[in-house]
Amino acid sequence: MTTAVLITGTSSGIGRATALRLARNPEFTVYATARRPESLTDLAEAGARVMALDVTDEMSMADAVAKVEAEHGSVGVLINNAGYGAYGTVEETDLDGVRRQFETNVFGLARMTQLVLPGMRRAGRGRIINVGSMGGRLVFPAGGYYHASKYAVEALTDALRFEVAPFGVKVSLIEPGLIRTGFGDTAARTLSGSAAPAGPYAALNAAADQQMARSYRSTRLSAPPEAVAEVIHRAAVSAAPRPRYVVTAAARVLVHARRLLGARAFDAYLRAQFKGAA
């Protein structure tokens, strides 16, 4: 019997690339999900089973897990990928938008995990792969709330990994750097709409927008979603998956630089990157 792989947020980007890659593995039956399953036609053609799943809706999440368990007994691999970045300064960002972001990035991930774990424990095995970000290890200005959601994913994953190990469940965290998906466009759009053009943070917001645009265009600093899909596949099939996988060389440099430099030196680095904004 094949292993059931349930992936959230497969309509684009990392989720779509991951579903396509894992669907080629004959050991897996891949369940690709999105709020609008009609957007997943190409994944169905590639061999994935497509389902509606909204990680902000309790009934939707419970139904999706129940369907997989009805066919396989338990979810073998849960890949918590659904998430997005809404940007803006701490002072100016509307907190209703922050709550929506946490519902997807944090609470949806947590609830999906809660729903699959009873079945995994009964089976005595399972794997949970959370897609976080290098943004859970360091912070860029005008992205505090997004980073806060990814820091939360770091904490939840660390606790979960220890808690479920006795039941045969293995947990890994994927920490991508800049990935050429629609993420950068969403971040830039929310940033531009988060504050008045002539507000007190106008220079910072403009600098952040320009910095994101340059970085996502750079093939040296960013990577395609297939690079993350390859790492997720590795975490899904490894007999001894690593607790963390940082994806892209640039992300590894930044994560270690933040750790080694400390707050003041990293702030100085940011001031150099965001010239005229601080």
Active site residue 84: no
Residue 70: how many CA atoms within 13 Å on its side-chain side? Answer: 6
Rg (CA), the chain: 19
Q: How many CB atoms are located within 10 Å of the residue 98 CB?
A: 18
Taking a C-beta distance cutoff of 8 angstroms, is the pair 114, 159 a contact? no
Q: DSSP E strands: which ranges in the chain?
A: 3-7, 28-34, 49-52, 77-80, 126-131, 169-176, 178-179, 222-223, 244-247
Taking a C-beta distance cutoff of 8 angstroms, is the pair 87, 194 a contact? yes
- Considering the candidates 31, 87, 146, 201, report the single residue annotated as catalytic: 146
Tally of residues, the chain: 278
Residues contacting residue 169 through CB under 8 Å, at least 6 positions apart:
117, 120, 121, 125, 126, 127, 128
Taking a C-beta distance cutoff of 8 angstroms, is the pair 67, 29 a contact? no
Catalytic residues: 146
